[in-house]
Amino acid sequence: MREKAVQLNKKIFKSLSLILVCFFLDRWSKIYIINFFVNNEVNDFYVNSYVNLILIWNKGIAFGLFESENFFYHFISLVIIFIIFFLCYFIIKTKKQIEIICFSIIAGGAIGNLFDRIYYNSVPDFIDLHYKNFHWFTFNVSDICITLGIILLLIFDMIKFNYKNND
């Protein structure tokens, strides 16, 4: 019994550490970008032929979809809180290290954007990827964490599926 408690504590410590790394990387990047744009009184910043920095205040869900200001905005925030609780539940229940890592990265990103929804009443997005006239949705570090965690989960599920089918 004691060994299970020690393993659970180690898992929670590792997960919480990864969540905090994602959260604080996101916070640092947003604070830096907001201060940069305010102090330099600019609207956008050219990085190279494929990346611009542009500060957009997102009141929708991921990538600015379904932008809203009233009930729907608060409903989305509530859904995000439930998703974070489910992620924490999955982190505690799973025994697979890769799932713990993926769920922790997703949770760290979700908490970063939830923090902004509460603190700023919108989420600052600032990374603008583009090729010529095609621009992807503007996003932030939390969005990268969420997307990376989901992609890693999908990749490892596909590998596991292929491995089982080849036996």
Per the structure block, which two tokens stand in for 158? Answer: 């596909």
End-to-end CA distance of the chain: 35
Active site residue 143: yes
Which one of the listed residues 26, 116, 128, 143 is annotated catalytic? 143
Kindly give, in sequence order, each residue whose CB lies less than 8 Å from that of residue 9, ignoring residues fewer than 6 positions away.
none
Taking CA atoms, 88 is separated from 32, 60, 84, 102, in Å, by 29, 24, 6, 11
Active site residue 125: yes
> Where are the alpha helices (H) located in 41-96, listed in sequence order?
71-93
Which one of the listed residues 26, 116, 125, 128 is annotated catalytic? 125
Quote the CA–CA distance of 13 and 28 in Å, as a whole number: 22
Residues assigned a catalytic role: 125, 143
